[in-house]
Amino acid sequence: MIVYVLPGVGIYGGIKVGFRFVDALRALRIPAVVATPGGAAPRWFSSSAPVVAQESLLPALSGADTVLFSLPHDHERLRATGARMMFHCQGTDPLIDPVISDSAVTVLTCWEQARRYVHEKTGRASLDVGISVGDAFFGRYGSRVSGSITYMSRRGRTDVMAQMSLPAGTSVRAVDGEPECSVAEIMSATDVFVAVAENEWFGLPALEAMAAGCIVVSVPTVGGGFLRDGDNCIVVEPSLLGSRIQELLESPALGARLRRSGVVTAQAHRSSVQRDLLRHLLASQQLVFGP
Amino acid sequence: MNLTAIIPSVGLEPLLRQCLSCLAVSAERAGVASVRAIVVDNASLLPYDLHRLGSDLSVEIVRFDRPRSFAQACNQGAARVAGGDVLFLNNDVLLNPRALTDVLSARDELGADITGARLVYPDGTIQHCGVLFDGGERGPYHVWHRQSSDLVARGHRRFQSVTGAFLLMENALFTRLGGFDERYPFAYEDVDFCLRAGGLGAVIACAQGVDSLHFQGSSRTERAYALERVSRELFFARWRGRFTIDGTEDDPV
């Protein structure tokens, strides 16, 4: 079996990225399943991946099986299963160092900064398997409320938004705990998405916002290589967020250009693009499952 | 290909004869080398008789004098299958002559372990072309149900579940999963089966190329509806929060 082990099904990007990866594999005839505690399935985004209970599945694994995981804490207990291990690297916290240093573990990375991190720390080459934005975010280019701003409070400092001085008529909405379809709906009616989390590794919400046609204003992130200041978004220090947003709202031409460029950036992360990448990796046997 | 069709049936003998006839034509068109049918007579008032059925197929009748659940009837029929492929087929499904060809094409194209078929009502609207799951009270539902089949895309497609009215798989997979769960009195045993198969990594797909007729409900009684409610409760007790959501409540019911 090919099993992606996840620690839960709460609203965390890593959970969604894991399920999306399994969906992509299954679309390519790789019969992967997801294992969660108690066999719980997520209810906040769309997927068709089968879910099984870790408690019953993990003891039955053997060397003929493959386990994928993204939480470094799972490393030791999964090693005990005897299954072949693949680490789906979704962050570059030093906690992952023992995992990526383990030669028995194949390392898959989702973005360039993670690939560099693995190489710098271990000298190993990881396999870039990409990352994708849900289809729900694309093609929603209808009417937007001018001057409306959305941000994800869970992912960053709410005080940054509270302290910001914004022009009159600007409306700010925090998104937290919403299912993906609602987030897509909100983003599609919003002018500007502000990414306020300074320690974001990749920043999938900013990419989702681009897909939904928002203008993205982001604080600098660790791994968000897709954020190009002045090209497809505005990248700015937190202390300058308010003034840059004000400038943006006063310049419709700049906003329109960033919005268009953002959509193009997001298109490169469609699920079909990731599937094409995985198809190539499988066909060229760079990505191999099984013993 | 060595195919055994399991057809649970109660009464409706003329319909059963037509079902067998359509199966024979569809199997021949698909080039199925060996096909036989096991008719599970689920306590028909007048027991079926091979002579009266008069099928071109090799037919075996398994007779129950007291009615069993759909799951029990199917499992008893499948217990007589030694290998090859097994097709669970309702007696009120009349296969399109190209149905099996289409299903085998979908199986090959999508690498499916379990394959279903597109079924329509006599008015040409969709009875089944795959099962989606929403996160609300509806749970599993037939996608595009009652929409005109002409308006629904024809590409073969993967699903988490397909209907038990037409369910093709290798007998080994059915055996490995212990068959349908007989605790379901009526309905949802097929969805339960598909979800369990998915947990083993099985790929499930539905062929969409041609329409076969399904007179669903022609023999449904009040009792059947009551049993279906019991099955639904059992299904949700077991699976609520444990299937992924790939449909929406906005889809047509």
To 10 degrees, the CA torsion angle through A180, A181, A184, A185?
Answer: -140
pLDDT range class, residue B15, cuts 50, 70, 90 = very high
Task: Tell me B12's DSSP state.
Answer: -
The DSSP string of B167-186 is EEEEHHHHHHTTSS-TT-SS
- How big is the A-B interface in CB pairs under 8 Å? 59
The band of B220, judged by pLDDT with boundaries at 50, 70 and 90, is low
Residue type at B66 in one-letter notation: R
Six-digit token string for A230? 């002045």
What average pLDDT score do residues B229-245 get? 95
Confidence (pLDDT) at A153: 78
Q: Does B159 touch chain A (CB under 8 A)?
A: yes
pLDDT band at A86 (very low <50, low <70, confident <90, very high): very high
Contacts of A41 (CB under 8 A, 6+ apart): A9, A51, B241, B242, B243, B244, B245
Question: What does the angle CA B102 – CA B118 – CA B109 come to, to the nearest 5 degrees?
Answer: 40
**pLDDT, chain B, mean:** 94
Instruction: Name every chain B residue with its beta carbon within 8 A of the beta carbon of A47.
Output: 244-246
Place A114 in a pLDDT band, splitting at 50, 70 and 90: very high
Confidence of residue A143 (pLDDT cuts 50, 70, 90): confident
Instruction: Tell me which chain A residues have a C-beta less than 8 angstroms from the C-beta of B136.
Output: none
Examine the pLDDT at A155 and tell me if it is beyond 70: no
Whole-number pLDDT of residue B219: 59
CB–CB of A43/B241 below 8 Å? yes
pLDDT band of A198, cuts 50, 70, 90:
confident
Selected for mutation to probe chain A from B240, B242, B249 (highest A CB count within 10 Å) is B242
Across A78-90, average pLDDT: 95
Q: Which of B160, B242, B248 sits opposite A39 (nearest CB)?
A: B242
Give contacts of A46 with chain B, Cβ < 8 Å. Answer: 244-246, 248
B203, B241, B248: residue with CB nearest A26? B203
Token look-up 């369990």 returns: B196
Tokens representing residue B53 in the block = 């059925």
Average pLDDT over residues A187-199: 90
Which of A88-97, A150-159, A215-224 shows the lowest per-residue confidence on average (mean pLDDT)?
A150-159
Query: Model confidence at B223, in pLDDT bands (50, 70, 90)?
Result: confident
Q: B195 to chain A nearest CA, in Å?
A: 7
Which of A1, A28, A34, A46 has the most B C-beta neighbours within 10 Å, making it the best mutation to test the interface with B? A46
B192 vs B230: CA distance, rounded Å: 14
Shortest distance between the Cα of A30 and any Cα of chain B, in A, equals 8
Name the least confident of A1-10, B13-22, B117-126, B220-229: B220-229
- pLDDT class for A157, splitting at 50, 70, 90? low
- Of B246, B136, B206, B151, nearest to A136 by C-alpha is B246
Q: What is the pLDDT of residue B26?
A: 98
Average the pLDDT over B129-141 and give the result. 92
Q: Is pLDDT of A130 > 80?
A: yes
> E strands along B92-232, which residues?
93-94, 114-120, 126-128, 131-133, 140-142, 157-159, 166-170, 204-214
Please indicate whether, in this complex, the C-beta atoms of B160 and A48 are within 8 angstroms of each other: yes
Contact (CB<8Å) B248/A181? yes
Alpha carbon A136 to its chain centroid, in Å, reads 14
Question: Looking at residues A48-72, what average pLDDT do you find?
Answer: 96
- Nearest chain B alpha carbon to A26: B203
Query: A259: Cβ–Cβ under 8 A, 6 or more apart, which residues?
Result: A213, A214, A215
For A37, name the nearest residue in chain B, comparing CA atoms only.
B242
pLDDT for A217 equals 95
pLDDT exceeding 70 applies to what percent of chain B?
Answer: 96
Please state, in angstroms and rounded to a whole number, the distance separating the CA atoms of residues A188 and A191: 8
| Beta-bridge partner residues of B7 | B39
Tell me the HSE value of A279 on the side-chain side, using a 13 A CA sphere: 9
Residue among B158, B201, B243 minimizing CB distance to A41 = B243
Distance from CA of A3 to the nearest CA of B (A): 9
Res B249: pLDDT: 60
Task: Quote the pLDDT of residue B145.
Answer: 94
Which residues of chain B does A179 touch, with a Cβ-Cβ cutoff of 8 Å? 135
Query: Where residue B75 falls among pLDDT bands split at 50, 70, 90?
Result: very high
Write the burial class of residue A103 (CB in 10 Å: 0-12 exposed, 13-18 middle, 19+ buried). Answer: exposed
* Percentage with pLDDT > 70 across chain A: 97
Q: What tokens appear for B1 in the block?
A: 């290909």
Comparing A159-163, B51-55, B63-67, which segment has the lowest mean pLDDT?
A159-163
Q: For residue B135, what pLDDT band results from cuts at 50, 70 and 90?
A: confident
Measure CB to CB from residue B244 to each of A1, A29, A48 and give the nearest one.
A48
Residue B108 makes CB contacts below 8 A (sequence gap 6+) with none
**Cα distances (angstroms) measured from residue A29 to each of A74, A80, B162, B201:** 26, 28, 18, 10
Min Cα separation B113/chain A (Å): 10
Average the pLDDT over B25-32 and give the result.
97
Please, where are the H alpha helices in chain A?
13-27, 54-57, 75-79, 97-101, 112-122, 158-162, 180-188, 204-211, 241-249, 252-267, 271-283
At B55, which amino acid appears?
A: S
pLDDT confidence tier of residue A47, bands split at 50, 70 and 90: very high
B198 reaches A (C-beta below 8 A): yes
Indicate the average pLDDT of chain A. Answer: 92
From B191's Cα to the closest Cα of chain A, the distance in A is 13
pLDDT value at A291 more than 70: no
pLDDT in tens, B160-211: 999 999 999 999 999 999 999 999 999 999 999 999 999 999 999 999 999 9
Q: Which of A31, A40, A42 sits opposite B201 (nearest CB)?
A: A31
Contact between chains at B246 and A42 (C-beta distance less than 8 A): no
Count other Cβ atoms within 10 Å, centred on residue A59: 9
Q: What is the Cβ-side half-sphere exposure of residue B85, based on CA atoms within 13 angstroms? A: 22
User: What confidence category does residue A168 fall into, taking pLDDT thresholds of 50, 70 and 90?
Assistant: confident
pTM over cut 0.95: no
